[in-house]
Amino acid sequence: GAVVSQHPSWVICKSGTSVKIECRSLDFQATTMFWYRQFPKQSLMLMATSNEGSKATYEQGVEKDKFLINHASLTLSTLTVTSAHPEDSSFYICSARDLIWHNSPLHFGNGTRLTVT
Amino acid sequence: AQTVTQSQPEMSVQEAETVTLSCTYDTSESDYYLFWYKQPPSRQMILVIRQEAYKQQNATENRFSVNFQKAAKSFSLKISDSQLGDAAMYFCAYRSPTQGGSEKLVFGKGMKLTVNP
Protein backbone atom coordinates (compact mmCIF):
# COMPACT_ATOMS: atom_id res chain seq x y z
CA GLY A 1 0.00 0.00 0.00
CA ALA A 2 0.95 3.64 -0.34
CA VAL A 3 3.38 4.86 2.25
CA VAL A 4 4.15 8.34 3.46
CA SER A 5 7.43 8.80 5.28
CA GLN A 6 8.00 11.68 7.64
CA HIS A 7 11.35 12.67 9.06
CA PRO A 8 12.45 13.25 11.72
CA SER A 9 10.07 11.43 14.03
CA TRP A 10 11.06 13.65 16.90
CA VAL A 11 13.25 16.71 17.33
CA ILE A 12 14.30 18.95 20.17
CA CYS A 13 15.54 22.42 19.36
CA LYS A 14 16.40 25.60 21.16
CA SER A 15 14.17 28.62 21.06
CA GLY A 16 15.00 30.86 18.12
CA THR A 17 16.32 28.15 15.85
CA SER A 18 14.64 26.68 12.78
CA VAL A 19 13.56 23.11 12.21
CA LYS A 20 12.80 21.37 8.92
CA ILE A 21 10.41 18.44 8.67
CA GLU A 22 10.27 16.30 5.55
CA CYS A 23 7.30 14.45 4.14
CA ARG A 24 7.86 11.95 1.34
CA SER A 25 5.49 9.79 -0.62
CA LEU A 26 7.49 6.62 -1.13
CA ASP A 27 5.65 4.75 -3.85
CA PHE A 28 3.29 7.27 -5.39
CA GLN A 29 3.20 10.83 -6.64
CA ALA A 30 1.33 13.60 -4.89
CA THR A 31 0.79 17.09 -6.28
CA THR A 32 -0.85 17.98 -3.01
CA MET A 33 0.23 17.25 0.52
CA PHE A 34 -1.32 18.46 3.74
CA TRP A 35 0.29 19.55 6.98
CA TYR A 36 -1.56 19.10 10.23
CA ARG A 37 -0.77 20.04 13.78
CA GLN A 38 -1.98 18.15 16.80
CA PHE A 39 -1.73 19.33 20.38
CA PRO A 40 -1.87 16.75 23.18
CA LYS A 41 -5.25 15.09 23.50
CA GLN A 42 -6.67 17.22 20.73
CA SER A 43 -7.68 16.72 17.15
CA LEU A 44 -5.71 17.35 14.00
CA MET A 45 -5.88 20.89 12.76
CA LEU A 46 -5.02 21.61 9.16
CA MET A 47 -2.24 24.15 8.87
CA ALA A 48 -1.68 24.35 5.16
CA THR A 49 -2.05 22.66 1.82
CA SER A 50 1.22 22.13 0.01
CA ASN A 51 1.05 22.32 -3.77
CA GLU A 52 3.82 21.02 -5.99
CA GLY A 53 5.43 23.81 -7.96
CA SER A 54 3.38 26.60 -6.45
CA LYS A 55 2.77 28.43 -3.19
CA ALA A 56 1.18 26.69 -0.28
CA THR A 57 -2.31 27.59 0.86
CA TYR A 58 -2.44 28.41 4.54
CA GLU A 59 -5.42 28.08 6.85
CA GLN A 60 -6.68 31.10 8.67
CA GLY A 61 -4.54 31.98 11.66
CA VAL A 62 -1.44 30.13 10.46
CA GLU A 63 1.57 32.39 9.91
CA LYS A 64 3.03 31.62 6.51
CA ASP A 65 6.31 33.36 7.35
CA LYS A 66 6.75 31.20 10.39
CA PHE A 67 5.75 27.89 8.86
CA LEU A 68 7.51 27.77 5.51
CA ILE A 69 6.35 25.09 3.13
CA ASN A 70 8.20 23.93 0.06
CA HIS A 71 6.87 21.31 -2.34
CA ALA A 72 9.60 21.06 -4.95
CA SER A 73 8.78 17.63 -6.33
CA LEU A 74 5.88 15.23 -6.63
CA THR A 75 7.21 13.15 -3.77
CA LEU A 76 8.57 15.64 -1.28
CA SER A 77 7.15 18.47 0.80
CA THR A 78 8.99 20.20 3.63
CA LEU A 79 7.73 22.24 6.54
CA THR A 80 10.21 24.59 8.19
CA VAL A 81 9.35 26.06 11.56
CA THR A 82 11.33 29.27 11.68
CA SER A 83 12.47 31.00 14.85
CA ALA A 84 10.81 28.31 16.91
CA HIS A 85 9.33 29.14 20.30
CA PRO A 86 8.12 26.85 23.08
CA GLU A 87 4.51 27.39 22.00
CA ASP A 88 5.40 25.77 18.66
CA SER A 89 6.01 22.51 20.48
CA SER A 90 3.49 20.10 19.04
CA PHE A 91 2.98 17.02 16.92
CA TYR A 92 3.12 17.72 13.20
CA ILE A 93 1.65 15.26 10.69
CA CYS A 94 1.70 15.31 6.92
CA SER A 95 -0.58 13.48 4.54
CA ALA A 96 -0.76 12.82 0.81
CA ARG A 97 -2.91 11.06 -1.73
CA ASP A 98 -2.03 8.93 -4.73
CA LEU A 99 -2.87 10.91 -7.89
CA ILE A 100 -3.51 7.89 -10.05
CA TRP A 101 -6.44 6.55 -8.06
CA HIS A 102 -9.23 9.11 -8.19
CA ASN A 103 -10.84 8.23 -4.91
CA SER A 104 -7.84 6.95 -3.04
CA PRO A 105 -7.77 7.95 0.62
CA LEU A 106 -5.23 10.17 2.27
CA HIS A 107 -2.19 8.46 3.70
CA PHE A 108 -0.52 9.90 6.75
CA GLY A 109 3.07 10.07 7.81
CA ASN A 110 4.11 8.88 11.25
CA GLY A 111 4.31 12.41 12.52
CA THR A 112 7.04 14.55 14.04
CA ARG A 113 7.10 15.50 17.67
CA LEU A 114 8.71 18.92 18.03
CA THR A 115 9.89 20.15 21.40
CA VAL A 116 11.24 23.68 21.64
CA THR A 117 13.22 24.41 24.79
CA ALA B 1 -17.96 25.48 6.45
CA GLN B 2 -18.27 21.85 7.32
CA THR B 3 -18.08 20.71 10.92
CA VAL B 4 -17.69 17.29 12.48
CA THR B 5 -18.87 16.53 15.99
CA GLN B 6 -17.91 13.64 18.20
CA SER B 7 -19.82 14.17 21.40
CA GLN B 8 -18.33 11.31 23.41
CA PRO B 9 -14.74 12.03 24.49
CA GLU B 10 -14.20 8.58 25.93
CA MET B 11 -15.72 5.11 25.84
CA SER B 12 -14.79 1.70 27.09
CA VAL B 13 -15.76 -1.78 25.97
CA GLN B 14 -15.08 -5.29 27.14
CA GLU B 15 -12.98 -7.47 24.92
CA ALA B 16 -15.13 -9.42 22.42
CA GLU B 17 -18.06 -7.07 22.91
CA THR B 18 -19.48 -4.56 20.44
CA VAL B 19 -19.18 -0.81 20.72
CA THR B 20 -20.61 2.05 18.66
CA LEU B 21 -18.87 5.38 18.24
CA SER B 22 -21.04 8.31 17.23
CA CYS B 23 -20.34 11.13 14.81
CA THR B 24 -22.48 13.85 13.34
CA TYR B 25 -21.55 16.41 10.77
CA ASP B 26 -22.90 19.53 9.19
CA THR B 27 -22.69 20.33 5.51
CA SER B 28 -24.67 21.87 2.70
CA GLU B 29 -23.02 19.66 0.12
CA SER B 30 -24.82 16.67 -1.32
CA ASP B 31 -21.78 14.66 -2.31
CA TYR B 32 -18.89 14.08 0.05
CA TYR B 33 -16.82 11.43 1.80
CA LEU B 34 -16.75 10.35 5.40
CA PHE B 35 -13.98 8.52 7.18
CA TRP B 36 -13.08 6.95 10.46
CA TYR B 37 -9.41 7.09 11.39
CA LYS B 38 -7.74 5.32 14.26
CA GLN B 39 -4.75 6.79 16.09
CA PRO B 40 -3.04 4.35 18.47
CA PRO B 41 -0.40 5.48 20.98
CA SER B 42 2.17 5.43 18.18
CA ARG B 43 0.29 8.48 16.79
CA GLN B 44 0.13 6.92 13.31
CA MET B 45 -3.18 7.78 11.64
CA ILE B 46 -4.74 4.63 10.26
CA LEU B 47 -7.76 4.59 7.97
CA VAL B 48 -10.42 2.33 9.40
CA ILE B 49 -13.27 2.78 6.97
CA ARG B 50 -14.68 5.21 4.44
CA GLN B 51 -18.11 6.00 3.08
CA GLU B 52 -19.12 7.81 -0.07
CA ALA B 53 -22.24 9.89 0.50
CA TYR B 54 -23.81 8.86 -2.79
CA LYS B 55 -23.79 5.24 -1.73
CA GLN B 56 -26.76 4.12 0.28
CA GLN B 57 -25.14 0.91 1.36
CA ASN B 58 -23.23 1.12 4.62
CA ALA B 59 -19.53 0.40 4.33
CA THR B 60 -18.06 -2.59 6.13
CA GLU B 61 -14.48 -3.70 6.71
CA ASN B 62 -14.26 -6.97 8.58
CA ARG B 63 -15.20 -6.17 12.21
CA PHE B 64 -15.85 -2.52 11.41
CA SER B 65 -19.07 -1.20 9.95
CA VAL B 66 -20.80 2.12 9.75
CA ASN B 67 -24.37 3.32 10.07
CA PHE B 68 -24.61 6.16 7.61
CA GLN B 69 -27.76 8.23 7.92
CA LYS B 70 -27.46 10.95 5.31
CA ALA B 71 -30.64 12.80 6.17
CA ALA B 72 -29.70 12.91 9.82
CA LYS B 73 -26.05 13.65 8.97
CA SER B 74 -24.95 10.87 11.20
CA PHE B 75 -22.03 8.51 10.67
CA SER B 76 -21.48 6.04 13.50
CA LEU B 77 -18.84 3.33 13.65
CA LYS B 78 -19.57 -0.10 15.05
CA ILE B 79 -16.72 -2.28 16.20
CA SER B 80 -17.68 -5.91 16.66
CA ASP B 81 -15.75 -8.49 18.65
CA SER B 82 -13.56 -5.77 20.14
CA GLN B 83 -9.90 -6.60 20.52
CA LEU B 84 -7.24 -5.14 22.75
CA GLY B 85 -5.54 -3.72 19.67
CA ASP B 86 -8.61 -1.63 18.93
CA ALA B 87 -7.76 0.65 21.85
CA ALA B 88 -6.92 4.03 20.35
CA MET B 89 -8.21 7.49 19.59
CA TYR B 90 -10.84 7.41 16.88
CA PHE B 91 -11.44 10.38 14.64
CA CYS B 92 -14.39 10.95 12.38
CA ALA B 93 -13.54 13.02 9.32
CA TYR B 94 -15.31 14.75 6.43
CA ARG B 95 -14.01 15.48 2.98
CA SER B 96 -15.57 17.53 0.23
CA PRO B 97 -15.73 16.10 -3.28
CA THR B 98 -12.35 16.18 -4.96
CA GLN B 99 -11.91 19.14 -7.27
CA GLY B 100 -8.75 19.32 -9.30
CA GLY B 101 -7.07 16.75 -7.13
CA SER B 102 -7.16 18.89 -4.01
CA GLU B 103 -8.82 17.83 -0.81
CA LYS B 104 -8.60 18.38 2.89
CA LEU B 105 -10.08 16.55 5.81
CA VAL B 106 -12.10 18.13 8.57
CA PHE B 107 -11.71 16.12 11.76
CA GLY B 108 -13.87 15.72 14.80
CA LYS B 109 -12.29 16.13 18.23
CA GLY B 110 -11.76 12.42 18.60
CA MET B 111 -12.83 9.77 21.05
CA LYS B 112 -10.62 7.63 23.22
CA LEU B 113 -11.61 3.97 23.18
CA THR B 114 -10.43 1.69 25.94
CA VAL B 115 -10.75 -2.07 25.58
CA ASN B 116 -10.88 -3.97 28.85
CA PRO B 117 -9.62 -7.55 28.95
Mean pLDDT of successive 10-residue stretches along chain B, which has 117 residues: 92 98 94 94 92 93 97 97 97 80 80 97
A107, pLDDT greater than 80: yes
pLDDT value for A2: 63
Instruction: Look at residue A103 in the predicted model and tell me its pLDDT.
Output: 66
Which own/partner pairs from B24-31 qualify as long-range (CB within 8 Å, at least 24 positions apart)? B24/B72, B24/B73, B24/B74, B24/B75, B25/B73, B25/B75, B25/B92, B25/B94, B26/B2, B26/B73, B27/B2, B27/B73, B27/B94, B29/B2, B29/B96, B29/B97, B31/B97
Interface of B with A in 28-57 (CB under 8 A): 33, 35, 37, 42-47, 50, 52
Q: Tens digit of pLDDT for each residue in A4-21?
A: 999 999 999 999 999 999
pLDDT greater at residue A92 or residue A53: A92
User: Which residues 73-92 of B have a C-beta within 8 angstroms of A?
Assistant: 91
Residue A113: per-residue pLDDT: 96
Q: What is the pLDDT of residue A106?
A: 83
Contact call for B98 and A102, based on CB within 8 A:
yes
Size of interface A-B (CB pairs under 8 A): 54
Percent of chain A with pLDDT over 70: 94
Nearest to B107 by CA among B25, B29, B46: B25
Q: A40 or A76: which carries more pLDDT confidence?
A: A76
pLDDT at site A30: 86
> Are residues A34 and B52, on separate chains, in Cβ contact within 8 Å?
no
- Grade residue A31 by pLDDT with cuts at 50, 70 and 90: confident
Interval A86-107 mean pLDDT: 84
Please report the pLDDT score of residue A54 as a whole number. 85
When pLDDT is cut at 50, 70 and 90, the band that residue A82 belongs to is: very high
Interchain contact, A106 vs B103, CB within 8 Å: yes
Q: Do A97 and B45 touch (CB under 8 A)?
A: no
